Structure 1
Amino acid sequence: MKTYYRVQLVLVALALSFPGSMMAEQAPKSGIATVAQQSGRITGTVEDELGPVIGAAVEVKGTHNGVVTDSDGHFTLSGVKNGAIIRISFLGYVTQEIPYKGQATLNVTLAEDSQALGEVVVTALGIAKGSKKLGY
């Protein structure tokens, strides 16, 4: 019984001899806090000359933060930081890049990109060819 008591005393002495840096540290209780760059929320509409564009991609350039417009061309994008570039794109239209300066709404009219679409036929094998190059 006395040997167990001695072993316990040695273990307690060893535990108390470790420096404080070996133990977990608590966060300082000072009033200093890191202030993150403010991020905003922006809503808007994407249209063309005929009306709302359904399914247009609205994203913050260089990030994975993005949304798609709904059936009325409306979108809501959260987590946008000041100075970020908002990129609006849709197949067949010229992509627009607009800097975010804290505005709450953004209404965009996309212009058609006549050079982006040509006459392309996709065959059953998934091979895309110009319509003039098809032999059938």
Structure 2
Amino acid sequence: MKAERGAGPETLAQKLLAAWGGVAGLATARPEELAREAGVGPAKAARIAAAFAVGSRRSRETDEVRLATSEDVARAAHSLIGTSATEKVAVLVVDGGYGLKLVEVVAVGTAKACPMPVREILALVRES
């Protein structure tokens, strides 16, 4: 879908939501993918992606979430990865009682591969 140059934010939002299949699809879009959409440049794409990232972190409150089974882990990871068309690496950190302390996507790759930033993962786990 094509947004007209200078179209209002509501019009652009409607076009992006339609093009990405709704909020869930748009939330998985990377800035470089968004920047290819008409009416969205690199700066706007970065702002849109950042807004979804902040919203995602905010919605993933870890208070009282327990990861006692593989189904619990899958449910927690699915909230991050969903049905993304790209490979993602997520880190879930639990305490000794299986309480979820941290949930974070640490890398996003292509449809077939994702580099694993081991140093960043270890730093993230160490800090939590």
TM-score by length of 1: 0.22
Q: Larger % of strand: which?
A: 1
The structure, 1 or 2, with the larger RCO (C-alpha pairs under 8 Å, 6+ apart) is 1
Instruction: Name which one, 1 or 2, has greater alpha-carbon Rg.
Output: 1
Q: Larger % of helix: which?
A: 2
TM-score by length of 2: 0.23
